[in-house]
Amino acid sequence: PILHPRITVVGVGGAGGNAVNNMIQSNLQGVNFVVANTDAQALEKSLCDKKIQLGINLTKGLGAGA
């Protein structure tokens, strides 16, 4: 049997989201992408279809950075 690896790249936070956007823009094939962030605005701007908002109640959609 021919094996087809499943690769998922998970970008966490602003830098992770930027990295995922760069990979999507470069038309990287055969990879699933997920982004996770506390910042709702950053998630909205992400090119990724699969988004996870972290700490909704704690950060109220704002970033958790300094």
Q: Report pLDDT for 54.
A: 95
Q: Report pLDDT for 61.
A: 85
DSSP code, position 61 = T
DSSP reduced 3-state for 33:
strand
Q: How far is CA 64 from CA 24, 33, 47, in A?
A: 25, 22, 21
Q: Report pLDDT for 62.
A: 82
Letter for the amino acid at 12?
V
How big is the chain, counted in residues? 66
Residue-wise pLDDT for 12-58, tens only, equals: 999 999 999 999 999 998 999 999 999 999 999 999 999 999 999 98
Dihedrals φ, ψ of 18, to 5°? Answer: -65, -40
